[in-house]
């Protein structure tokens, strides 16, 4: 999927609030082996590495465009490489993922896999957006079902794989997870207006639609913007963004 790092980074400041909440749950120790699944442009991976003295941090991602940006942050103890979180093997003391697993389907199977990547006594920390019922997201689904977009997309709409917090808590418990901390939070962003929401979703939600829409991409954005302007006429606009965060410790071997 062709990510655009510059578009994605436009709202990095807003996105870092959930990063702060996620690292607040991190058990900071020295000399950890850490993996950031879906590191994107690497900025947050570097901040994570800064918090962990004498640790070896690796960021993996499937996007060549994102990894190219991430290379700017390489230093001793921090590196980046191509890797798919669904197939990666190995074990790390901290398995970290911020704003990524919404791109992966079948979370009831994904969660046991993520937990298997954690060393005994280690920690899994995940933040996943759960904003799929917000009008900014529902409008995209609605539009994708209308012509001429439906034909251009061949009937495709983006999967909605994100589960409830109860489901994640149950999955973590079933894996033997300890010290579970699972919660959902609304991040209260105030944006200039509806057009800023289009800018936001253009860097994330719309990326796979852009890939498939071809020459209809600009028309899709225009119609989407018009509908968002109708729905959110105020300036500034309140964009309450829902996210799920969870942390669990893998039990130590006896």
Q: Which residues bind ligand SAM (CB under 6 A)?
A: 3, 15, 37-40, 44, 60-63, 66, 84-86, 98-100, 103-104, 204
C-alpha to C-alpha distance for 170 and 42, rounded to whole angstroms: 31
Asked if 208 and 2 touch (Cβ cutoff 8 Å), the reply is no
Query: Shortest Cβ contact with ligand SAM: which residue?
Result: 40
Q: How far is the CB of 44 from ligand SAM (least distance, A)?
A: 5
Based on CB atoms, which residue is closest to ligand SAM, 152 or 203? Answer: 203
Q: 237-249 and 118-129 as β-strands: parallel, antiparallel, unpaired?
A: antiparallel
Based on CB atoms, which residue is closest to ligand SAM, 34 or 152? Answer: 34
Tokens of 136: 């900014």
Based on CB atoms, which residue is closest to ligand SAM, 70 or 171? Answer: 70
Q: How far is the CB of 230 from ligand SAM (least distance, A)?
A: 27
C-alpha to C-alpha distance for 108 and 98, rounded to whole angstroms: 18
Asked if 95 and 117 touch (Cβ cutoff 8 Å), the reply is yes
Q: How far is the CB of 40 from ligand SAM (least distance, A)?
A: 2
Tokens of 173: 């418990």
Q: How far is the CB of 148 from ligand SAM (least distance, A)?
A: 28
Based on CB atoms, which residue is closest to ligand SAM, 85 or 182? Answer: 85
Q: How far is the CB of 242 from ligand SAM (least distance, A)?
A: 15
Q: Measured between alpha carbons, how far apart are the two ends of the chain, in Å?
A: 43
Based on CB atoms, which residue is closest to ligand SAM, 61 or 93? Answer: 61
Based on CB atoms, which residue is closest to ligand SAM, 38 or 177? Answer: 38
Q: How far is the CB of 109 from ligand SAM (least distance, A)?
A: 13
Tokens of 246: 């969870």
Beta bridge partners of 154: none
Tell whether the torsion through CA atoms of 10, 13, 18 and 19 is positive or negative: positive
């Amino acid at each position: 999927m062709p990510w655009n790092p510059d578009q994605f980074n436009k709202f990095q400041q807003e996105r870092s609030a959930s990063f702060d909440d996620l690292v607040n749950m991190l058990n900071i120790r020295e000399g950890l082996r850490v993996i950031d699944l879906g590191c994107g442009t690497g900025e947050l991976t570097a901040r994570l590495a800064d918090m962990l003295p004498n640790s070896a941090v690796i960021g993996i991602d499937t996007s060549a465009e994102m990894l190219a940006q991430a290379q700017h942050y390489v230093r001793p103890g921090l590196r980046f490489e191509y890797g798919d979180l669904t197939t990666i093997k190995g074990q790390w003391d901290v398995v970290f993922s911020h704003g990524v697993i919404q791109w992966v389907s079948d979370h009831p199977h994904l969660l046991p896999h993520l937990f298997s990547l954690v060393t005994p006594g280690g920690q899994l920390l995940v933040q996943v957006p759960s904003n799929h019922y917000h009008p900014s997201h529902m409008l995209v689904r609605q539009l994708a079902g209308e012509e001429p977009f439906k034909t251009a997309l061949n009937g495709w709409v983006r999967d909605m794989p994100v589960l409830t917090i109860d489901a994640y808590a149950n999955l973590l418990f079933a894996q033997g997870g300890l010290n579970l901390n699972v919660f959902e939070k609304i991040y209260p962003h105030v944006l200039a207006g509806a057009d800023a929401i289009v800018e936001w979703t253009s860097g994330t939600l719309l990326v796979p639609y852009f890939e498939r829409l071809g020459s209809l991409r600009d028309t899709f954005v225009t119609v989407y913007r018009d509908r968002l302007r109708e729905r959110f006429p105020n300036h500034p606009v309140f964009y309450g963004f829902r996210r799920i965060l969870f942390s669990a410790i893998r039990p130590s071997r006896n």
